[in-house]
Amino acid sequence: MSIKSRIRTIPHYPRAGIMFRDITTLLKDPIGLRTTIDAITERYRAEKIDKVIGIESRGFIFAAPVAYVLGAGFVPIRKQGKLPAETISCDYQLEYGSDKIEIHADAIDKGDRVLMIDDLIATGGTMEAAIKLVQEMGGNIVECCFVVDLPNVGGSKRLRQQGHQLYSLCSFDD
């Protein structure tokens, strides 16, 4: 079963020249969803993971069940103003502009082994900001995991050059 074959491509969305990779077709397929969650959890089953970070919003879909299976805590990283308690934040650049993400100030304990999960890596700006937040809190990042990598956009290369470990289930080079 190919995870990649279950991801729809929508040309010229949200603007001309962009090939949008739509994971909703993967999510609605029970076998595709199960295969994706199983592939991620199997990779990290032997690791001691304390917290699994899910990045808003599609990262939540994968991170929460992975945390459950691994017996780890789930921590959301959200856009500014969405978390109710004290937060720390980081600004970052998007493919189409800029934004800010936040994490609860008490979400990561010093020394926690953390798995970062998002649905897709393009420019890498969101994950880079999330990494900074976790490291600022004293967390040790085991790996950054993505369902989809868009290597031609450059984010995965940039994060690897910064010394981060990345893993993706599939990639689209076009």
For this structure, is 143 an active site residue?
no
Read off the tokens for 110: 């010093």
Other C-beta atoms within 10 Å of 170: how many?
A: 18
* Cβ pair 163, 144 in contact under 8 A: no
Q: Which of 21, 58, 102, 128 is catalytic?
A: 58
The three-point CA angle 38-143-47 to 5° equals 60
The contacts of residue 105 (CB under 8 Å, 6+ apart) are 85, 86, 87, 88, 137
Catalytic, 95? Answer yes
d(CA 53, CA 118): 8
Q: Which of 43, 95, 113, 143 is catalytic?
A: 95
Catalytic residue numbers, as ranges: 58, 95
